[in-house]
Amino acid sequence: MYDQIAANKNKSWLLILLFLVVIALLGYAFGAYTGDYFGVLTIAGLIAIVMALISYYAGDKVALSLAGAYRITAEQNPYVWRLVENLCITQGMPMPKVHLIPETAMNAFACGRSPEHASIALTEGLIAKLENEELEGVIAHELSHIKNYDIRLQTLVVVLVGVISILSDVFLRSGRFIRGGRSSKSGGAGAIVIIGLVLALLAPLIANLIKLAVSRKREFLADASGALASRYPEGLARALEKIAADGTPLTRAAEATAHLYFSSPFGNTPSFLGRMFSTHPPIAERVAALRHMA
């Protein structure tokens, strides 16, 4: 389990490094035309950071509202409350706010910028259809997202995607690359124009693919961390199998919050393209990884 956790952490930061490489290349290509290598990059970064800060401090409220979640107390649902409380004690972390989602689909998510400002939400269908050890595995997975500061990492990813999107948009809207390509500049400058244009067209797609890859790696990490917390990987594996067999999508699923959920809120995605653009790895792969730990 510890090997799996370490490997997934390293892979996540490697994907973040790829983000920075794409930004550096795009910024260099744009700077080669304008003569200003830092101005546009700085402006794009500031805009993206402001947007990310809003998401960082208010994103949990938005996610809970979009899901239609309602908060519960220990008296209202002592079974779920005690499962969460016991796992928090085991992991030495603060108790998050506990919410239920009035959905028959089986899913859950955690949100919040830190363990001290966190919430966990479970669908009513998840609680009704899973056995005790299976539900405990799902809760342990979500608490691991909180303990591993996954929301903070995802905020960093949002900043990087925002920078790339803004830079690409500015570059494509500028007439400079057209004039530059038709001028009598050196072949080297013309090559940079062409490379910059191609990169500006492809960068948003590349950025989103990296963002999805980061999300999938963090799911593997949370599976491993959750199995370590519950000390019973089979419970989490069986929960995943039941969710895959059920395949019911959430009625209030949203693209903006899909990466937060325990499994894809849109149901099963069996096609190759569906898996490539999914926020979650295939359930079969997650189950195999968990059973390899047992």
**Residues 143-170 as b or e (16 or more Cβ within 10 Å = b):** bbbbbbebbebbbebbbbbbbbbbbbeb
**Catalytic-residue membership of 116:** no
User: What's the start-to-end Cα distance of the chain, in Å?
Assistant: 9
Exposed/middle/buried for residue 36 (C-beta within 10 Å: 0-12, 13-18, 19+): exposed
Catalytic one of 85, 142, 241, 285: 142
Exposed/middle/buried for residue 58 (C-beta within 10 Å: 0-12, 13-18, 19+): exposed
Tell me the DSSP string of 196-250: HHHHHHHHHHHHHHHHHHHHHHHHHHHHHHHHHHHT-HHHHHHHHHHHHHH-PPP
| 42 alpha-carbon distance from chain centroid | 25
Tokens linked to 192:
């940079």
Active-site residue set: 142
